[in-house]
Amino acid sequence: MLKRTFMVAAAAMLLSTPGHALELTVWAPTAFTPSSGLAAGADAYKSVYEEFEEQNPDITLKYEVLAAGTEALQQLLTAASAGNLPDVGVVDGFWVPRLVEGELLQPLNDLWTEEDRADYFADVITPVSFDGEIYSLWFYNAWRGLYYDQNYLDGQMGGAEPPASWDDLLAFGAKAKEAGAYALMLPGSNSELTTLHMLSMFWGFGGDLVDEDGKPIFFEGDNRVAMEKVYEIYRTLVTEGLMPDSVGTMDESAIRPFFYTGETALVAQSSSSVKQIYADKPDTEGHIGAVNYPLPDGAIAVPVLVGWNYGLFASDPERREAGWKFIEFMTNQENLGMLNETQGHLPVRKSIWTERPFFADNPLMRQFKGIFDTGGMRPRPAVPIYPALSGALSEQMSYVLTGQRTPAEAVDEARDTVMREYERMAGR
């Protein structure tokens, strides 16, 4: 039976395990454990964890739930300084460079066969590879954009079409106002989720966050122009009455209820939220559609490649071998396909797209696959400064939304914060 410990929950449940078994510690965000808030996801992870233990009676699993957001990265770094890292961790892709810099992750090249790697899109291997070594196994992708309920557009907005351009959005917003709703809601809280939506727009305007050496440059030249445009979009949406400034305190989860009640016609979410939307509001299933962010000046937002990875921390040979057994089991075609489908995650294994009907035949999933196949997806910069950079950019959003800072002032504030940290890291 599973043995589990909650690091951020009030209660804990520890189930007895055989004394002779190796206890493998796994740290992961709630969504990737039997404690998932999505009931189907919790059941799915419980099932595969138990199956792993049945197939490997010499190994028992002890999972611990990581804190939310980038607090989890700090949790891992603190554990490293105390010599208390888990054997296996589920880590966000943008943490990997920082963990590699600290020599905390074990390379996987000698464990992960080339044959199995070939079933993965190269785009999810390159961002976590350094000096020829692969340091984590990326197990899904999440596309972010604007989601709509076609029934709502037909019923409450007179058959309005989802906007494909900035002018379309302004016209769409007028119809939304007539229906007593906002045109859209974007998350604006101080978190990585806000940065991900911003980054897609920023890249669409041709901006770069860092140079080839990893030095921040988002505040220079054309990059500054692009970043100011992103902040200006958010502010304009508020001043035009298309979005409330209260999104400055909200993440993706917090703005979803406004979509359910029809208070916003479009909601910015991850593709990973689709199954949650279906669970929360079953009458939307089969009627949800998605569009990219409409941008001014004919710019086209660039999809961000983002997702979670299995990382191997254990260096002891026995624990390393056991950890890889677990990772390999969780990511085999059958188990990962089932988990991807259950949670609505976009597969990064090619065979899952072709062999599971949910992904091969579902219209919304096929729409996502079309975006994937364009090859235009970009990963976040694989540099140690990125977590600090992301935090600085999202921190400014609430000030811009409420008019307390201009876009130019927001860029200056973010620059000062990031460069202090960059110089501190360079001086270590």
> Do 319 and 421 fall into the same domain?
no
Could you tell me if 158 and 252 lie in one domain?
yes
Domain span at residue 334 reads 3-135+307-375
Q: Are residues 392 and 290 in the same domain?
A: yes
DSSP 123: G
Q: How many structural domains is the chain composed of?
A: 2
Per-residue pLDDT of the chain (428 residues; tens, 9 = 90+): 455 544 433 333 333 344 578 999 999 999 999 999 889 999 999 999 999 999 999 999 999 999 877 789 999 999 999 999 999 999 999 899 999 999 999 999 999 999 999 999 988 999 999 999 999 999 999 899 999 999 999 999 999 999 999 999 999 999 999 999 999 999 999 999 999 999 999 999 999 999 999 999 999 999 999 999 999 999 999 999 999 999 999 999 999 999 999 999 999 999 989 989 999 999 999 999 999 999 999 999 998 988 999 999 999 999 999 999 999 999 999 999 999 999 989 999 999 999 999 999 988 998 888 877 766 778 889 888 999 999 999 999 999 999 999 999 999 999 999 999 999 998 86
Give yes or no: residues 240 and 361 share one domain: no
Q: What are phi and psi of 282, to 5 degrees?
A: -55, -25
Q: Which domain-ending residue is among 375, 390, 414?
A: 375
Please indicate, yes or no, whether residues 84 and 65 belong to a single structural domain of this protein.
yes
Are 366 and 295 contained in the same domain?
no
Q: Write the CATH number for 342.
A: 3.40.190.10
Distance CA 39, CA 342 (A): 10
Statement to judge: residues 22 and 124 lie in one domain: yes
pTM of the model: 0.82
Tell how far CA 116 is from the center of its chain: 24
Q: Are 279 and 315 found together in one domain?
A: no
User: Do 126 and 168 have their domain in common?
Assistant: no
How far, in Å, CA of 38 to CA of 342, rounded?
A: 9
Pair (151, 196) in one structural domain: yes
- pLDDT number for residue 10: 32
- Per DSSP, the residues of 212-273 read TTS-B-TTSHHHHHHHHHHHHHHHHHHHTTSS-GGGGG--HHHHHHHHHTTSEEEEEEEGGG
385 and 256 housed in the same domain: yes
Q: Could you tell me if 162 and 68 lie in one domain? A: no
